[in-house]
């Protein structure tokens, strides 16, 4: 149990499902490749030829896990699901890599999950007390145990019964020998999209996966929807009770790729608008705008456009570091920034700089960057952030630390400015953030900024001593 308690929420991953394609596993691989930014710790694919399920998972990046082309000869069949797992420190065991495959009383099931359950500890304790033997420490396995106990006879009813006991964030795909099921939790925290290529259906976390595999985007899986694809037909049912959507606003700020279309919008457009509103709310007297590549490029362009301050490429990122770098302590995190970024002296020297970043978590990146810019000869370093201060932990899959470790968790904006050693610091307001999304006042989770949790986790108060309102 100690191990389970030390497992941090970390299921901010990528999922993909491919139905009715002669080379389903290869298409799943391509999709996972496009979704690499959502998880770099482990990758895997499970496929079905209608009689049997095949599986290959390993630690590492998609290209490395599937570098041996003969793997695809073994991943037979026209149905496949895949998963990329997000990298954090802590236990990152191969046994937790997905898709998980189990044998149920009516054949094998494979499952890939993105998101985080908030009542998993309670459910797992109950299941173990009643004799369930768990093989992994992931939340995901709970779905399988609950579904396996259901007396219902079809997969959708069994899943429905299981998922109606589970609270939290999940976008998942499930494969049996012949069926593909895609499910999004009733709040719709995480994205999940449906695409089509010829007679094949594809389900993916983000639409950028469709572009690479040549599929057209059809629609999103709706919050609470269980979509079954069987005999080339789509059937949809809904989990009860229905609730208002609470899509994770951080997908727009940081996590999703700008070339994706999620939650009804092009990510690029929304992210650019964040930068534009930021320029209006938090102007700066400066000579150039510099982004922190790649995550803030789009917002920095928006800032430059509206402020009229020239956008310059003043910071170069080493792309070979990835996000897999192990970061056991603060010294290592500081080192990571040095490994990752270097300023362009000729661009920075003698200039007043506005650095636009998408978010500040611990403050490590910006503290290092302001130092680097000054060493490169910057006259002034102003920091503008295209999201509000992150003050509360995320229980639905974003990898944020406790309020004590969040630099804005307990400190004022001026204290954060002092910590990152900026000449000035300005954050986008929550109202400004929401105003940048056409339907921003409807249906987004902003708990990391305002503590308004759509579902309160079972252990939130004891774990974090937070007094948070329950909003349902």
Give the binding site for ligand 5GP (CB under 6 A).
Answer: 254, 292, 295, 323, 357-365, 398-399
Which lies closer to ligand 5GP via its Cβ, residue 145 or residue 190? 190
In the numeric block, the tokens 């510099």 are attached to 290
**Residue number with CB closer to ligand 5GP (243 or 332):** 332
Listed residue (121, 57, 66) closest to 92, CA to CA: 57
Q: What is the 3-state secondary structure (H, E, C) of the chain?
A: CHHHHHCCCCCCCEEEEEECCCCHHHHHHHHHHHCHHHCCCEEEEEEECCCCEEEEEEECCHHHHCCCCCHHHHCCCCEEEEEEECCCCCCCCHHHCCCEEEEECCEEEEEEEECCECCHHHHHHHHHHCCCCCCCCCCHHHHHHHHHHCCCCCHHHHHHHHHCCCCECCEEEEECCCCEEEEECCCCCCCCEEEEECCEEEEECCCHHHHHHCCEEEEECCCCEEEEEECCEEEEEECCCCCCCCEECHHHHHHCCCCCEECCEEHHHHHHHHHHHHHHHCCCCCCEEEECCCCCHHHHHHHHHHHCCEECCCEEECCCCCCCCCCCCHHHHHHHHHHHEEECHHHHCCCEEEEEECCCCCCHHHHHHHHHHHHCCCCEEEEEECCCCCCCCCCCCCCCCCCCCCCCCCCCHHHHHHHHCCCEEEECCHHHHHHCCCCCCCCEECHHHHCCECCCCCCHHHHHCCCCCECC
| Rounded Cα distance, 13 and 76, in Å | 24
Q: Which is nearer to Mg ion, 23 or 251 (CB)?
A: 251
Peptide bond into 241 cis (omega under 30): yes
Binding mask of the shown chain, residues 274 to 293, with x at each position contacting Mg ion by CB under 5 A: ------------------x-
Query: Closest approach of Cβ 277 to ligand 5GP, in Å?
Result: 18
- Does 387 interact with Mg ion (rule: CB under 5 A)? no
Residue with Cβ nearer ligand 5GP (147 or 278): 278
Among residues 48, 295, 297, 298, which is the contact residue for Mg ion, using CB under 5 A?
295
Q: How far is the CB of 295 from Mg ion (least distance, A)?
A: 3
With a CB cutoff of 8 Å and minimum separation 6, the contacts of 294 are 317
Under 8 Å between Cβ of 397 and 248: yes
398 binds, among Mg ion, ligand 5GP, none (CB under 5 to 8 A by kind): ligand 5GP
278 is written with which tokens? Answer: 């930021």
Smallest distance from ligand 5GP to CB 365, Å: 3
Closest distance between Mg ion and the C-beta of residue 305, in Å? 20
112 binds, among ligand 5GP, Mg ion, none (CB under 5 to 8 A by kind): none
Looking at the Cβ atoms of 134 and 464, the one nearer to ligand 5GP is 464
Residue (208 or 355) nearer to Mg ion, CB:
355
Nearer to ligand 5GP, 348 or 360 (CB): 360
CB of 40 to Mg ion, least distance (A): 14
CA–CA gap between residue 267 and residue 273 (Å, rounded)? 10
Residue 378 contacts which entry, ligand 5GP, Mg ion, none (Cβ below 5-8 A, type-dependent)? none
User: Which residue's structure tokens are 């990298």?
Assistant: 87
Query: Is residue 298 at the binding interface for Mg ion, with CB under 5 A as the rule?
Result: no
**Given the complex with ligand 5GP, which of 8 and 177 has the nearer CB atom?**
8
Residues recognised as catalytic: 13
Is residue 444 a contact partner of residue 298, using CB atoms and an 8 Å limit? no
**Rounded least distance, CB 278 to ligand 5GP, Å:** 15
CB of 390: closest distance to ligand 5GP in angstroms?
8
Residue 297 as a binder of Mg ion (CB under 5 A): the answer is no
Stretch of residues binding Mg ion (CB under 5 A), selected from 59-67, 149-157, 294-302, 338-346 = 294-302
User: In angstroms, how far is CA 32 from the centroid of its own chain?
Assistant: 14
Q: In whole angstroms, how close is the CB of 257 to Mg ion at the nearest point?
A: 13
**96 scored as a contact of Mg ion (CB under 5 A):** no
Per CB under 5 A, residues contacting Mg ion are: 292, 295
């Amino acid at each position: 149990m100690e191990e389970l308690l030390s497992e941090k929420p970390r299921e901010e991953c990528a999922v993909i499902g491919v139905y009715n394609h002669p080379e389903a596993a290869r298409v799943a691989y391509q999709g996972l490749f496009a979704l690499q930014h959502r998880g770099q710790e482990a990758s895997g694919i499970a496929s079905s030829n209608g009689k049997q399920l095949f599986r290959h998972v390993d630690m590492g990046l998609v290209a490395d896990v599937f570098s041996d082309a003969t793997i695809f000869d073994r991943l037979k069949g026209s149905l496949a699901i895949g998963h990329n797992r997000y990298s954090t420190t802590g236990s990152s065991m191969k046994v937790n890599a997905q898709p998980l495959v189990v044998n149920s009383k009516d054949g094998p099931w494979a499952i890939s999950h993105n998101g985080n359950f908030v009542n998993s500890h309670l459910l797992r304790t109950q299941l173990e007390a009643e004799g369930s033997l768990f093989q992994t420490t992931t939340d995901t396995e709970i779905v399988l145990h609950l579904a396996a106990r259901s007396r219902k006879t079809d997969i959708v009813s069994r899943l429905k019964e299981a998922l109606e006991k589970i609270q939290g964030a999940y976008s998942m795909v499930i494969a049996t020998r012949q069926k593909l099921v895609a499910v999004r939790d009733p709040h719709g925290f995480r994205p999940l999209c449906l695409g089509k290529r010829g007679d094949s259906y594809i389900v993916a976390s983000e639409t950028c996966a469709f572009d690479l595999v040549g599929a057209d985007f059809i629609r999103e899986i709706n919050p609470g929807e269980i979509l079954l694809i069987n005999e080339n037909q789509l059937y949809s049912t809904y989990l009860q009770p229905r609730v208002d959507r609470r899509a994770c606003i951080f997908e727009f700020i940081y996590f999703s790729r700008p070339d994706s279309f999620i939650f009804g919008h092009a990510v690029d457009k929304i992210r650019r608008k964040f930068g534009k509103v930021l320029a209006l709310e938090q102007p700066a007297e400066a000579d150039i705008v510099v982004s922190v590549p790649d995550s803030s490029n789009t917002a920095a362009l928006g800032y430059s456009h509206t402020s009229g301050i020239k956008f310059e490429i003043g910071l170069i990122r080493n792309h070979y570091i990835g996000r897999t770098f192990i970061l056991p302590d603060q010294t290592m995190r500081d080192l990571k920034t040095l490994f990752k970024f270097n300023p362009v002296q000729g661009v920075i020297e003698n200039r007043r700089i506005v650095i636009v970043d998408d978010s500040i978590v611990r403050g490590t990146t910006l503290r290092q960057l302001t130092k680097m810019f000054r060493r490169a000869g910057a006259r002034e370093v102003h920091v503008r952030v295209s999201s509000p201060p992150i003050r509360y932990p995320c229980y639905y899959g974003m990898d944020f630390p406790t309020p004590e470790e969040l630099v804005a968790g307990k400190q004022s904006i001026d204290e954060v400015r002092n910590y990152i050693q900026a000449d000035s610091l300005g954050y986008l307001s929550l109202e400004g953030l929401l105003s940048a999304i056409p339907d921003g006042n409807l249906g987004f989770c902003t708990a990391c900024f305002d503590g308004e949790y759509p579902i309160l986790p079972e252990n939130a108060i004891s774990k974090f001593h937070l007094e948070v309102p329950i909003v349902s």
